[in-house]
Structure 1
């Protein structure tokens, strides 16, 4: 393929040299800017600094995208979870890493497959063009010669696992060079969290076990499909699983489905998120649309769940707090919400009006999971976000914008500490679910989602 990468910088030295060049160029540009801004007034200097920061952030993202591996995954994670401590220019640039899909050349991937499978690589007819590319791995469809079964081979890029700690160090250095992010204990804590997640994500034996566990959770529910893992062809750097045909959630054909079918798909999608949190105590934290497919089979629309690498397991302390917050949201009870806001410094430092304002934010965020009678009462007898069957209208709710605006207004006079990392993972997953249900134009029943967990 002419647009594939023929070489991957895998050694710590080669990756550090590449980043060193990037750092040098960034440093030079900041120096030039400092000199040229001497004759500018305050507003002009501020505008120049903002423009340069965006330019440097874009350059940083472009250079990181060429490296692939964990350094790109770090950028993607910070784009998802860094909104509390990264400038919007850096966030905007890091979000472009999600679109980095340049595959590795076939000869590199084939060598990686042979490394994992040995002579068993000849058991497959493997398509050279990948059906998926990511920062840590590449996915190829294949046919098992002896059975004729279509399978998927998810193979890790060479030496990705070995470079995680070095890549994290590189990324922190780059952020320091750009002058974009204060080097604080909060940032260190986030990098520690990302390190743990990355080391889990590159352990494909762990991912295979997690996939089987989620398959067992959903085995008796015909609405879901989880790929079958083939252990005899899987290893720490390779997962062999059943190929599951389906269409993307971005497929325009889904928008043409009858409302009842869209509602059923949306209910299934958000129900998994709720059960992850309140029933299983572990959550797939990547809200990417690409982790879902849909297919119509046996007279129902089935949701295919893919990629169980980015799993976060929660302790009982957090789960009990989250359940308390959701219970207050279900009942739309502000007093109950303020009582439930405890157990972390982020909550315990809130008093007076800031705590009251934050409780309003949480109540609003819980609208899709609220008891409909309480929600109607909260809206003075007429809730515009419910349809005639009292289902929540995600696409018409403007919920995300309302929550963010209310949060910003409440935070203007107070310097908040960072929310607990676990809460931020949960928040991002629910934001991803919100985007998914808005795209589907789904309408969901809150009683079927959370009533059994909070009553």
Structure 2
């Protein structure tokens, strides 16, 4: 969640409390379920006399409307219901209709703020008399589905900090929210109830319980702070333990501009290249050195601190270490083999690298070959241009650096993946690969927005 330097919106709605009691949330979701169920029945009856083509078009439009209504109602609840919807939008492409995915992608963290008296009461309950040591700005600088961020000053030292304050009751509502969300999908008949869906709900449950544990997030943030403190290209907030609790995180205020800000686009191209290279390098270290990854590729989790001088170093500010996933050595060995094969653009090596992982081993030879081709395409930006003659000519500059904005890689991958899925006995990919894949898609988007050029040799050779 960004502690951006921009001013918070003054016209944002403020509310005095959240519907965090099980009864309130059940009533709200039950009403949504009832309305969707009623509409679904009405649509089925009124479409009985249409021909097949007209009925298909009508059902698609109806599904779109239902999905948007679902997202709209969920957005009013805040808390983990919103987060569940967002996670399903991110990781559910393989199990949800596209209309649902698109609608859930509209769920926005930046909704109504919790009023200052309620936040102050929460802080008083968490900190007691220690709250008197802080001068807290009552206007939040950021809101999310699970928490709200306020700037503060430590009165004795003048230290500028931010307080990430978890909304009261959201942690206790996670399990019931998940049950309600599953029931809503079941009643609305929007999504087929499968074991894959059950497995994803269990994964989301684990992720959410981890994300509301700010003691765990504090430790993770400190690990990343130690890892990157000697590299001038990165800034990680420093945790202030004096004012941190299980439901409250206090850390240094780290200003910066957003990834999509115009000021960033106006930087000289080589400086943007350096920022892009730094962003992708830290992702490589997460997978191949540290074995744990920040799995939320949201732009709000990054800021850029632009240097005042032309020859200074622009810094990437890394925020929000709540959605961290650890990977075991077996998976990391597989991933390392896939990267090595991708760098050399070697189809046979890619197939060999896939061995030893149940998901790939259960595939037929034809399917494994198709997936290997898909992985070769996915690793195009990390391949050696001297070996990979399939890189489009307009995707390399004169120094053989990869031009992300010209690559259209996401759309090329999407169409290749769709073809591959149609050709075989497709099962939902392992969660770990979904996380890594989503992180790479986030990186593709980030580097495309920056219009950065990156050097695959510098990125990959250290890990070969």
> What is the TM-score normalised by the length of structure 1?
0.96
Which residue in 2 is equivalent to 1:343? 356
Which residue in 2 is equivalent to 1:213? 223
Q: 1:178, 1:47 → 2: CA distance?
A: 19
Correspondent of 1:353 among 337, 357, 366 = 366
Which residue in 2 is equivalent to 1:301? 314
> 1:47-446 alignment to 2 at 5 Å?
47-98=57-108, 100-297=110-307, 299-375=312-388, 377-378=389-390, 383-446=393-456
Offset of residue 378 of structure 1: 4.2
Offset of residue 352 of structure 1: 3.5
After alignment, is 260-269 or 4-13 more displaced?
A: 4-13
2:43 aligned with 1:33: yes
Q: 2:251, 2:417 → 1: CA distance?
A: 43
Q: Any conservation in 2 of the 1:53–1:178 contact (CA below 8 Å)?
A: no
Q: 1:41, 1:100 → 2: CA distance?
A: 43
Q: Any conservation in 2 of the 1:205–1:236 contact (CA below 8 Å)?
A: yes
Instruction: Give unpaired runs (5+ residues) of structure 2.
Output: 1-10
- Report SS of the residue matched to 1:250: coil
- Report SS of the residue matched to 1:300: coil
Q: 1:392, 1:50 → 2: CA distance?
A: 39
- Report SS of the residue matched to 2:163: strand
Q: 1:289, 1:146 → 2: CA distance?
A: 34
- Report SS of the residue matched to 1:18: helix
Q: Any conservation in 1 of the 2:221–2:236 contact (CA below 8 Å)?
A: yes
Correspondent of 1:45 among 48, 55, 60 = 55
Q: 2:72, 2:109 → 1: CA distance?
A: 11
For each residue in 1:279-322, what CA deviation from the matched residue of structure 2 results, as whole angstroms up to 9, or x when unmatched?
00000000000101111348110000000000000111111111
Q: Any conservation in 1 of the 2:12–2:113 contact (CA below 8 Å)?
A: no
Offset of residue 100 of structure 1: 4.3
Q: Any conservation in 2 of the 1:283–1:313 contact (CA below 8 Å)?
A: yes
Offset of residue 245 of structure 1: 0.9
- Report SS of the residue matched to 2:113: coil
Offset of residue 102 of structure 1: 1.9
Q: Any conservation in 1 of the 2:134–2:152 contact (CA below 8 Å)?
A: yes
Q: 1:245, 1:226 → 2: CA distance?
A: 11
Q: 1:43, 1:122 → 2: CA distance?
A: 67
Instruction: Give unpaired runs (5+ residues) of structure 1.
Output: none
Q: 2:111, 2:440 → 1: CA distance?
A: 25
Q: Any conservation in 2 of the 1:150–1:242 contact (CA below 8 Å)?
A: yes
The count of residues paired between Structure 1 and Structure 2 equals 451
Offset of residue 99 of structure 1: 5.3
Q: Any conservation in 1 of the 2:110–2:142 contact (CA below 8 Å)?
A: no
- Report SS of the residue matched to 1:38: coil
2:18 aligned with 1:8: yes
Q: 2:386, 2:371 → 1: CA distance?
A: 23
Offset of residue 439 of structure 1: 0.3
Cα RMSD (Å):
1.4
- Report SS of the residue matched to 2:152: strand
For each residue in 1:337-394, what CA deviation from the matched residue of structure 2 results, as whole angstroms up to 9, or x when unmatched?
011123334312322333222211110110111123112x445xx7431111111111
Offset of residue 130 of structure 1: 1.0
Offset of residue 405 of structure 1: 1.5
Offset of residue 10 of structure 1: 1.0
Which residue in 1 is equivalent to 2:5? none
Q: Any conservation in 2 of the 1:223–1:268 contact (CA below 8 Å)?
A: yes
